[in-house]
């Protein structure tokens, strides 16, 4: 009798969940895990393609923009990225999440375009290829060893805080970031790629969370790319 009651409760819960899913807009319903992962990839490719477009077009207008004041533009980009972060935090609304993602990508793209402007095209290409290899390696590793990456969460966060403080000190002193700090940054963000992929698999498989996971991976990739490029680069 008790087993029958448990079975009925289970069926009722399933029916209730199904009805709740049916009441949601199509872009808010839970996806299969495969569809969810494909959507992460689509969002990530969209973000990287938009960034590449900004970097190709910005050199023509960068002098006029940064003639105002490079620090003001950098601060505005940071403020805009915070707005985007607030919007993407609205995970119950995919449209707002996607809008926030696009805003953050644009905010990252402007200062990135200014950074890579000083590097020759062949170094940019090599850095992009190396970044792709690292990202692919870490993602595959996270697929097979998710718990190993998830266990690194606190260590990575503390390490990132230390890295940011060290880089801010270098900036305040007006000196270039030493190579050893760039290497540490490359190591941290490489591990963050695996960590954020593994953590993304813990989220509900909705389009909003796919967008949120893509943003985390996007920021990892951009930070990784910049540090690889700076480590390799000779400014022209």
Digit-coded pLDDT (tens) for 100-117: 888 888 888 877 877 787
Asked if the structure places residue 26 within a domain, the reply is: no
User: What's the farthest any 2 CA atoms get from each other in the chain?
Assistant: 79
Asked if the structure places residue 11 within a domain, the reply is: no
Tokens of 29: 């319903």
- d(C-alpha 7, C-alpha 3), whole Å: 6
Asked if the structure places residue 21 within a domain, the reply is: no
* Structural contact between residues 198 and 146, judged by C-beta atoms closer than 8 angstroms: yes
pTM: 0.81
Asked if the structure places residue 155 within a domain, the reply is: yes
Asked if the structure places residue 214 within a domain, the reply is: yes
Asked if the structure places residue 14 within a domain, the reply is: no
* Structural contact between residues 162 and 205, judged by C-beta atoms closer than 8 angstroms: no
- pLDDT band for position 29 (50/70/90)? confident
Asked if the structure places residue 99 within a domain, the reply is: yes
Closest CA to 182 of 144, 130, 137: 130
- d(C-alpha 109, C-alpha 88), whole Å: 17
Residue 191 or residue 19, greater confidence: 191
State how many domains the chain has: 1
Closest CA to 94 of 172, 224, 206: 206
Expressed as residue numbers, the domain containing 100 is 31-232
Asked if the structure places residue 13 within a domain, the reply is: no
């Amino acid at each position: 009798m008790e087993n029958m009651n448990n079975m009925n409760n289970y069926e009722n819960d399933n029916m209730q969940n199904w009805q709740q899913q049916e009441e949601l807009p199509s872009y808010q319903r839970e996806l299969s895990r495969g569809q969810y992962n494909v959507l992460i990839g689509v969002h990530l490719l969209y973000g990287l393609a938009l960034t590449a477009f900004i970097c190709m077009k910005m050199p023509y207008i960068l002098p006029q923009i940064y003639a105002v004041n490079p620090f003001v533009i950098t601060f505005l980009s940071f403020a805009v990225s915070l707005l985007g972060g607030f919007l993407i935090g609205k995970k119950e609304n995919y449209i707002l999440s996607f809008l926030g993602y696009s805003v953050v990508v644009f905010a990252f793209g402007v200062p990135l375009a200014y950074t890579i402007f000083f590097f020759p095209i062949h170094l940019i290409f090599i850095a992009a290829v190396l970044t792709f290899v690292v990202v692919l390696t870490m993602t595959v590793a996270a697929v097979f060893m998710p718990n190993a990456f998830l266990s690194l969460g606190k260590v990575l966060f503390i390490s990132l805080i230390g890295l940011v403080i060290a880089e801010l000190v270098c900036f305040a002193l007006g000196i270039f970031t030493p190579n050893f700090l760039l290497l540490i940054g490359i190591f941290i963000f490489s591990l963050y790629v695996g960590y954020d992929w593994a953590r993304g698999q813990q989220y509900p498989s909705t389009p909003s969370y796919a967008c949120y996971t893509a943003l985390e991976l996007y920021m990892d990739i951009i930070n990784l790319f910049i540090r690889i490029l700076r480590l390799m680069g000779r400014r022209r």
